[in-house]
């Protein structure tokens, strides 16, 4: 589900047990190095804003940032708050499940609202 869009990028929610957002450039690039400077800066600024807010709001063990796109060669950035109590930690979310999650996290809805407001100010 798309939560934010401007002339360069958009941000989507990845349905998951953990807080997880994805950032896409509007223009379809395969690699970050192909982006024009304005798009590159916008993507990295959005990524850092989301990462900073995840740390501040959720206090995760670690924030994972990934750029894969092997199945869909459209550049996008995953930003995920990770916790020792999530189902996959310390494995990647695409890895082998380690346990049933035992998470009691603050509201994701509130977090998303904050991110939308902050992105609108940039």
Q: Which domain holds residue 102?
A: 2-121
Q: For 6, phi and psi rounded to 5 degrees?
A: -135, -165
Per-residue pLDDT tens digits for 46-92? 999 999 999 999 999 999 999 987 777 889 999 999 999 999 999 99
User: How many structural domains compose the chain?
Assistant: 1
Q: For 10, phi and psi rounded to 5 degrees?
A: -140, 160
| Preceding omega of 90 cis (within 30 degrees of 0) | yes
Per-residue pLDDT tens digits for 4-24? 999 999 999 999 999 999 999
97: CATH: 3.30.428.10
* Non-local CB neighbours of 52 within 8 Å, separated by 6+ positions: none
């Amino acid at each position: 589900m798309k939560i934010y869009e401007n002339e360069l990028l958009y941000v989507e929610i990845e349905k998951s047990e953990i807080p997880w957002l994805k950032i896409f450039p509007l223009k379809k690039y395969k690699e970050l190095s192909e982006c024009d400077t304005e798009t590159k800066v916008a993507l990295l600024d959005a990524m850092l804003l989301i990462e900073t807010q995840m740390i501040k709001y959720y206090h995760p063990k670690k924030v994972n940032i990934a750029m894969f796109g092997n199945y869909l060669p459209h550049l996008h950035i995953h930003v995920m708050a990770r916790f020792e109590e999530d189902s996959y930690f310390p494995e990647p979310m695409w890895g082998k499940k380690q346990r049933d999650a035992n998470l009691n996290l603050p509201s994701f809805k509130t977090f998303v609202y904050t991110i939308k407001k902050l992105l609108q100010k940039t």
